[in-house]
Amino acid sequence: MPTQSAESGKKILKHVAFIRHGESKGNEAYRLHGRDMWTFDAELTTLGREQAGRLKECVGSLPVELVVVSPLTRAIQTCLIAFGDHVGKVPFVVNPVAKEQMTASDDVGRHFEELEKEFPMLSFELLKKEPTIWWYNDGKGKEGETIDEFRERFKQQGGIEEPMEVLMERVREFEKWLLAQPQEMVAVVSHGDFILALTGQDLRNAQLYSVEASDHILKQDA
């Protein structure tokens, strides 16, 4: 049953733990070189894995009923390290709407079949409903553009950026989907810009921000 907020007396339908992934090789490239080094779908660095391991100490005992994760590898790796003890006990759903805003090469993902093969413990049913290029596509490529062709075009154009209005439309879609899920205790492992757009919180790598949600998460004036 929904609990009551002690401060407002308002019904709380969801307890959501938003988590940003640990340091990725894309983050490391900017830290060391100050620019995009074309690290597509970047994995976690050694530091990122350590951060996710420390995160597990904080969230491992949370009574989560649902884990939602972005399809980008750095988020999946963080998710499985932090919530590994929950695998097989609660649903782990990959939701492409929770992907990062496209601003750099590490926001370009991989084909769902490759991801499903590497991470068979996750549910990719939502991702399978998306086009092959499930991340932001500016539509300037040729018809039937492959992932490799998109990556090459990304480099030639010096990057592709997802407009803020497109991100916000996606954020609203995710909020609606999340609040419609039956589980009350949910963990969402996603990305800095996406979480910032949704919650207003600018998280560090592997940082957690908890929300008690009734009928909305997004600020009403957003």
Domains of the chain, first to last: 3-213 (3.40.50.1240)
9, pLDDT greater than 60: no
Instruction: Compute the distance between CA of residue 25 and CA of residue 93 in angstroms, rounded to an integer.
Output: 24
| pLDDT tens digits for range 18-73 | 999 999 999 999 999 999 999 999 999 999 999 999 999 999 889 999 999 999 99
At residue 222 the predicted structure's pLDDT band, cuts being 50, 70 and 90, is low
Instruction: Compute the distance between CA of residue 112 and CA of residue 124 in angstroms, rounded to an integer.
Output: 7
Question: Mean per-residue pLDDT for 179-198?
Answer: 97
Is the separation of the CB atoms in 99 and 209 below 8 Å? no
Instruction: Compute the distance between CA of residue 163 and CA of residue 57 in angstroms, rounded to an integer.
Output: 36
5, pLDDT greater than 80: no
Tell the burial category of 140 from Cβ atoms under 10 Å away from its Cβ (0-12, 13-18, 19+).
Answer: exposed
| Window from 46-50, 59-63, 87-91, 126-130 with minimum mean pLDDT | 59-63
Which residues are registered as beta bridge partners of 187?
Answer: 17, 67
